[in-house]
Amino acid sequence: MYLYWDQLKQELSEQGQNFRGRDREATLLWMACGSCNGESMAILGAEGPGKAGYNLLDFLEDEGVRLLWHPSLSETSPREAATIIARILAAEEELAMLCVEGSIINGPHGSGMYDTFDGQPKRDIIRALCDRAQYVIAMGTCSAFGGIPAAPPNPSESCGLQFTNEQPGGLLGPEWRSRAGLPVINVAGCPADAQTMIKTMSLVLAGLPLELDKFNRPLTVGPCLSDGITKRCGTAQKVGYACVGCIGAKFPLSKPMFRQVELPQRELPVLLPPRAPIFMIPGSDAAGNGAPCHG
């Protein structure tokens, strides 16, 4: 099924929303792990020159969502954020949506200490937060499947929240479910684009049934430049190079651009004799003696 955003918004406003007009407040916490911050930049409005798209601030205002913390948007310091997290874990603060960006880092040697928050492996904090959230949304292919950091040789021992590449498992294991009874909702993409992330969060808040595929991707996820009517991917025509398949669970392993390729050994021509001077500085000899010193 494909829904245009305007059509979807109309449906959402007609279907009594389970967090809006609700008995509980919608809150959002955004955590960034092994990430290049691509999803944060996309959802904060950096979609490219001339594009002033719908962004996270619009979403929060329109949907009446209270942002508990976002590492690139909140003025709250990480120390104060640690207090917010502690209150969530102590069940003193409701957490409706936990959005995780970036791969889960387990290195070195399974300790998780390559990526810490407030002195603890971030991985452990994420696991505990997942158990408090009504919904957990993996924003981007890294948090969904491990993405680029999990590609061999995977020096950071990265994985996704419920998958490592296309293998079920990841941080939480395949059987894990959120408090609302759903697996992690995988908004795959590298980066996932702002509209897809916002549409997915709106569906979640509306309590509409989310159809997830075998990789737990909702219907909102599709090739970013596909034609909505014919479902044809127009990436090559629109940007001049082919789609790299970044919504796939195997990305980037499935693409030769990220594979190490052994080039045939060729003898390189010797252009210059060794130690031959390229420029002779006036007053110096061939070994550079007598040249002015700029050190």
Q: 152: phi > 0 → left, psi -120 to 50 → alpha, else beta; which?
A: beta
Quote the CA–CA distance of 288 and 162 in Å, as a whole number. 62
Identify the residue among 12, 125, 136, 190 touching ligand SF4 (CB under 6 A): 190
* Closest to 84 in 3D by CA, of 107, 52, 118: 118
| Residue 141 sits in the site that holds ligand SF4 (CB under 6 A) | yes
CA quadruple 152, 155, 156, 158: dihedral, nearest 10? 20
Residue selected from 121, 140, 146, 218 as contacting ligand SF4 according to rule CB under 6 A:
140
Does residue 137 touch ligand SF4 according to CB under 6 A?
A: no
**Does 44 engage in binding with ligand SF4 (CB under 6 A)?**
no
The reply on whether position 36 binds ligand SF4 by CB under 6 A is yes
Residue choice 18, 38, 106, 206 for contact with ligand SF4 (CB under 6 A): 38
Q: Does 148 bind ligand SF4 (CB under 6 A)?
A: yes
Select from 43, 47, 98, 102 the one that contacts ligand SF4 (CB under 6 A): 102
Q: 159: helix, coil or strand?
A: strand
**Contact at 8 Å (CB) between 202 and 232?**
no
- Interface with ligand SF4 (CB under 6 A), residue total 13
Residue keyed to tokens 């007053």: 283
- Using Cβ positions, the residue closest to ligand SF4 within the complex turns out to be 38
Rg (CA), the chain: 24
For position 35 contacting ligand SF4 by CB under 6 A, the verdict is yes
Both tokens of 42, joined, read: 């996309």
39 binds ligand SF4 (CB under 6 A): yes
Query: Rule CB under 6 A: is residue 244 a binding residue for ligand SF4?
Result: no
Pick the piece of the chain touching ligand SF4 (CB under 6 A) from 34-42, 84-92, 118-126, 257-265: 34-42
Chain residues 156-175 in contact with ligand SF4, contact rule CB under 6 A: none
| String of DSSP letters for 243-289 | ---TTSTTTTTT-GGGS---PPP-PPP--S-TT--SSPPTT--TT-T
Nearer to ligand SF4, 40 or 134 (CB): 40
**Residue 200, SS3?**
helix
Q: How many other CB atoms are there within 10 angstroms of residue 276's CB atom?
A: 8
The token duo for 265 is 């050994």
Which part of the chain contacts ligand SF4 (CB under 6 A), choosing from 30-38, 76-84, 160-168, 235-243? 30-38
Chain residues binding ligand SF4 by CB under 6 A are 35-36, 38-39, 101-102, 140-142, 147-148, 190-191
